[in-house]
Amino acid sequence: MSSSVASERPASAERSASGEDSLIARYFKPLATDPGAFELGDDAAVLKAHGDDVVVTTDAIVEGVHFLPDDPPDTIARKALRVNLSDLAAKGAAPSGFVLTLALRKAEEAWLKPFAHALGWDAIQFGCPLLGGDTVSTPGPLMISITAFGRVAAGRMVHRSGAKPGDLVVVTGTIGDAALGLNVLQRGGAAAALADDAAAREVLIGRYRVPQPRTALAKAVRDNAHAAMDVSDGLAGDLAKLCAASGVSAVIEAASIPLSAAASGLLARGIVGVEAIVSGGDDYEVLCAIPQAGLEAFKQAAQTAGVAVAVIGQVVEGLSSPRLLDKHGKEIALPRLSYSHF
Amino acid sequence: MSSSVASERPASAERSASGEDSLIARYFKPLATDPGAFELGDDAAVLKAHGDDVVVTTDAIVEGVHFLPDDPPDTIARKALRVNLSDLAAKGAAPSGFVLTLALRKAEEAWLKPFAHALGWDAIQFGCPLLGGDTVSTPGPLMISITAFGRVAAGRMVHRSGAKPGDLVVVTGTIGDAALGLNVLQRGGAAAALADDAAAREVLIGRYRVPQPRTALAKAVRDNAHAAMDVSDGLAGDLAKLCAASGVSAVIEAASIPLSAAASGLLARGIVGVEAIVSGGDDYEVLCAIPQAGLEAFKQAAQTAGVAVAVIGQVVEGLSSPRLLDKHGKEIALPRLSYSHF
């Protein structure tokens, strides 16, 4: 086991001659720009809290489960980091670094190089440098596990559990695209329906492969939301979790759920139903409960950050599952709330 | 993807009915005793630094690579956490918590229960509570990736890179047992040689399956060592890494390397050579460079902690690989320095 992503090649590496340390050092050391990473030359990293709370989140992605075997290495890298950045944003935390566990069948330069390069670009873009990690061999599917760190002022992390009756249910970006992108990649109904629309297919596939963490909204979430989480397992299921943690329920209007042009077109043509849109996974948008008094400030901040936000419903008293209503006020039944691994 | 090890079961779980959240919450929530874990009911945890540096280390173990498919779940759990605790101890850090990524083929109660129970006992024993995690399904081998956190006073983490000529090379415990334990499990030469000695076989297997992190020595390492790391990939290779990071070399006397009675017997009978003992992995002992002036204090602290320590050689000037000498002062050639994954 290698204790750090790029343990220094020992002076005697001529004899061990594995190439592993050398390959990994070459590609990952440039990502370790934080002084606390010690250029990946030690067994551990140092994270400075500077008096803040350190927010810790961990998410893994597995080949064949969270990404497809023929997804390009650069999008796999981005997804692995971004699903964690999405959690930090929803908790109101500014990213400060991450550690990486990479389980590979073999250390191939042709794969590692674009993987590390894309990871490095995202690390710079989101201000989240590599602090350390571990590389292990596996006979099984490729797996990337990332633990990411963020900072918030003491006691200011935004929880799932603070939603109150009367709060507005707000979601960023658009919902359902990633699930439709996966459907396109798997040559499902969406692929056939978009056979003549390569641009729409690309948009949806891009949303599946490369989430857009709402890091730019972290401060606005922290300043205005009573409760927040990121939507990773489907809007309906994740809203149910937020409501359960807060001891409340919610009412959502299907017509208010923000959709991309591609998703909207597929919905209008009856290719996909609203049930699939709200129960598909991989959205990586922020779902939050915002009191009326905070809505304007939140919208302003979102506009400044260039992120679309939409009010989709309201938090109500009660402990039942959130209800999804059609334009006639009739409840839409949801057969499958969200993705579950087992 | 589940964002936390035990996201609360949504109120509507009758409909998702996966059992995953419920199983995991049942077994892992009791381990989340730190207030910053929010009982695993949120998407992230909060780590308080209290003005210290947070030391971060990450190590993964994979079925068939770091443990055997028929190893008991309780020893797998212990090994997964302890390999990380071993890193923290060698860096001079007191454990403060960990996050867990568990990649499972299926969520089986018969496996999860003893796994979580043993993990919980170790979390208590070493003062290192579960802060959060992620559970994912995989069609491949079982894999456990842990990121562990410790604390040291600002700037006091012990590095690989501080060894100076004249320092003594010191190692804790005994070396080579774990590799011999693996050899016994794989029915190699050690198994045959110990056919009539069930007790010795058990000792060696135990050393392979359940490392003993030297947490009790963390303060002594911090107070007395110029450089330190844990021995995970074989003594010879790890010493080479420490020397390379420090820009020094070392001379080790084979006869000074501390051996268990079982290893010593196998060596005396010619069943195993010293080369295998110093290049086998999984020792999880602390290797450090201690100045003459600090040796007595370190030995005292070790005695108080009940941990054996041995001086095995000296740091010398130079950039060549550390040399291993036999009792006649003749160099022993090492064909394979340490374990490499690729």
Please compute the mean of the pLDDT values over residues A318-327 and round it to a whole number: 95
pLDDT of residue A107: 83
Helix ranges restricted to H, chain B? 13-16, 20-28, 73-90, 109-125, 177-185, 189-193, 198-209, 218-224, 235-246, 261-268, 274-279, 292-305
Closest CA in chain B for residue A12: B321
Find how far residue B36's CA is from the centre of its chain. Answer: 25
Task: Say which residues have a Cβ less than 8 Å from residue B277's Cβ, sequence separation at least 6.
Answer: B175, B176, B179, B180, B235, B257, B259, B263, B267
Quick one: closest CA in B to A6, which residue? B241
Max Cα–Cα distance, chain B, nearest Å: 74
Considering only CB atoms, B342 lies closest to which of A3, A36, A137, namely A137
Residues of chain B contacting residue A83, judged by C-beta atoms under 8 Å apart: 1
Nearest residue of chain A to residue B87 (CA atoms): A43
Q: What's the residue count for chain A? A: 342
Inter-chain CB proximity B62 and A90 less than 8 Å: no
Does the distance separating the beta carbons of A58 and B100 come in below 8 Å? yes
Contact present, B92 and B107 (Cβ < 8 Å): no
The third-level CATH classification (topology) of the domain covering A13-152 is: 60s Ribosomal Protein L30; Chain: A; (3.30.1330)
pLDDT at B23: 79
- pLDDT band of residue B56 (cuts 50, 70, 90) is very high
Q: Considering only CA atoms, which of A275, A217, A213, A268 is closest in space to residue A84?
A: A213
CA dist B238 and B245 (Å) reads 11
Nearest chain A Cα distance for residue B119, angstroms: 18
Q: What is the pLDDT of residue A18?
A: 53
- The whole-number average pLDDT for the span A322-338 is 85
Bridge partners, residue B171, by sequence: B287, B310
Q: Looking at CA atoms only, how far is residue A55 from chain B in angstroms?
A: 5
Burial class (CB within 10 angstroms; exposed 0-12, middle 13-18, buried 19+) of B325:
middle
Query: Residue B244 and residue B222: Cα distance in Å, rounded?
Result: 21
Rounded to whole angstroms, how far apart are CA atoms A171 and A322? 15
Are the C-beta atoms of residues A272 and A279 closer than 8 Å to each other? Answer: no
Cross-chain Cβ contact B342/A19 below 8 Å: yes
Mean pLDDT, all residues of chain B: 91
d(CA A274, CA A286): 19
pLDDT computed for residue B204 by the predictor? 97
Gap between the Cα atoms of A58 and A55, Å rounded: 10
DSSP string, A248-307: -EEEEEGGGS---HHHHHHHHTTSS-HHHHHH-----EEEEEE-HHHHHHHHHHHHHHT-
Q: Which residue, among B283, B209, B206, B222, has the nearest Cα to B91 in the 3D structure?
A: B222
Q: Are B313 and B256 in contact (CB under 8 A)?
A: yes
Nearest CA to CA, how far is B308 from chain A (Å)? 23
Is A11 in Cβ contact with B320 (below 8 Å)? Answer: yes
Please tell me the distance from the alpha carbon of residue A220 to that of residue A235, in angstroms, as a whole number.
21
Q: Is the dihedral of CA B304, B310, B311, B315 positive or negative?
A: negative
CB distance A341–B20 less than 8 Å?
yes
For residue A104, pLDDT beyond 80: yes
Secondary structure class of A226 (helix, strand, coil): coil
Q: Please say whether the dihedral angle defined by the alpha carbons of residues B298, B299, B301 and B305, taken in this order, is positive or negative.
A: positive
CA angle B124, B127, B128 (to 5 degrees): 95
pLDDT of residue B1: 31
* pLDDT computed for residue B14 by the predictor: 31
Quick check: B42 and A147 CB within 8 A?
Answer: no
Residue A92 has pLDDT above 80, yes or no: yes
Q: Average pLDDT, stretch B97-125?
A: 95
* Tokens linked to B144: 């456990």
Asked if pLDDT for residue A336 goes beyond 70, the answer is: no
Q: Flag whether pLDDT at A12 surpasses 70.
A: no
Q: What is the reported pLDDT for B172?
A: 98
In this prediction, residues A268-289 reach a mean pLDDT of 95
Distance between CA atoms of B197 and A308, rounded to whole angstroms? Answer: 70
Per residue in A207-266, pLDDT (tens digit) is: 999 999 999 999 999 999 999 999 999 999 999 999 999 999 999 999 999 999 999 999
Q: Is the pLDDT of residue B263 over 60?
A: yes
pLDDT of the residue at B258: 98
pLDDT in tens, B264-287: 999 999 999 999 999 999 999 999
Are B11 and A240 in contact (CB < 8 Å)?
Answer: yes
Does the pLDDT value for residue A6 go beyond 50? Answer: no
- Displacement of CA B18 from its chain's centroid (Å): 34
Mean pLDDT (chain A, rounded):
91
Query: Rounded to an integer, what distance in angstroms lies between the CA atom of residue A233 and that of residue A63?
Result: 17
pLDDT of res. B5? 39
Phi and psi angles of residue A168, each rounded to the nearest 5 degrees, phi first:
-90, 140
Sheet of strand A94-104, all strands in order from the earlier edge strand to the far edge = A130-137, A94-104, A143-152, A53-62, B45-47
Distances in whole angstroms, Cα of residue A77 to Cα of each of A39, A97, A143, A209: 20, 15, 11, 10
The amino acid sitting at A41 is G
pLDDT of residue A333: 87
Domain-wise residue ranges, chain B: 13-152, 168-325
Q: List the single residue in A with minimal CA-CA distance to B5.
A: A58
Please indicate whether, in this complex, the C-beta atoms of B101 and A58 are within 8 angstroms of each other.
yes
Residue B148 zone, left/alpha/beta (φ > 0; ψ -120 to 50; rest): beta
Helix (H/G/I), strand (E/B), else coil: A111: helix
Query: What span, in angstroms and rounded, lies between the C-alpha atoms of B307 and B212?
Result: 10
Residue B16 binned pLDDT confidence (cut-offs 50, 70, 90): very low
pLDDT at B62 over 50: yes
Check CB contact under 8 Å for B342 and A18: yes
**Which pLDDT score, from 0 to 100, does residue A19 have?**
66
Q: What is the pLDDT of residue A22?
A: 78
* CA distances to A1, A71, A100, A301 from A136, in Å: 6, 21, 11, 42
Predicted local distance difference test score (pLDDT) of residue A338: 55
Determine contact, residues B93/B55, Cβ cutoff 8 Å.
Answer: yes
Cβ separation B340–A91 shorter than 8 A: no
Mutate to test the interface with B, among A3, A208, A278 (most CBs of B within 10 A): A3
Give mean pLDDT, residues A167-176: 98
B45 to chain A, closest Cα gap in Å: 5
Q: Which amino acid is at B40?
A: L
- What is the residue type of B147? T
pLDDT over 70 (residue A160):
yes
Distance, in Å, from the CA atom of A311 to the CA atom of A34, rounded to the nearest integer, reads: 38
CATH class of B168-325: alpha beta
Comparing CA positions, the residue from A212, A206, A116, A10 lying closest to residue B338 is A10
Rounded to the nearest angstrom, the minimum Cα separation between A24 and chain B is 11
DSSP letters spanning B12-68: THHHH--SHHHHHHHHHGGG--SGGGGGG-SS-EEE--TTSEEEEEEEEEEBTTTB-
* Residue A152 three-state SS: strand
Cβ contact B169:B226 at 8 Å: no
For residues B276 and B179, the answer to whether their CB atoms sit within 8 Å is yes
Q: Do A140 and B136 make contact, defined as CB atoms within 8 angstroms?
A: no
Q: Which pLDDT score, from 0 to 100, does residue A106 have?
A: 86
pLDDT at B15 exceeding the cut of 60: no
pLDDT tens profile B296-328: 999 999 999 999 999 999 999 999 999 999 999
Which pLDDT does position A339 carry in this prediction?
Answer: 52
Q: What is the pLDDT of residues A38-78, one digit of tens each?
A: 999 999 999 999 999 999 999 999 999 899 999 999 999 99
CB pairs under 8 A between A and B: 326
Contacts of B90 in chain A (CB under 8 A): 43
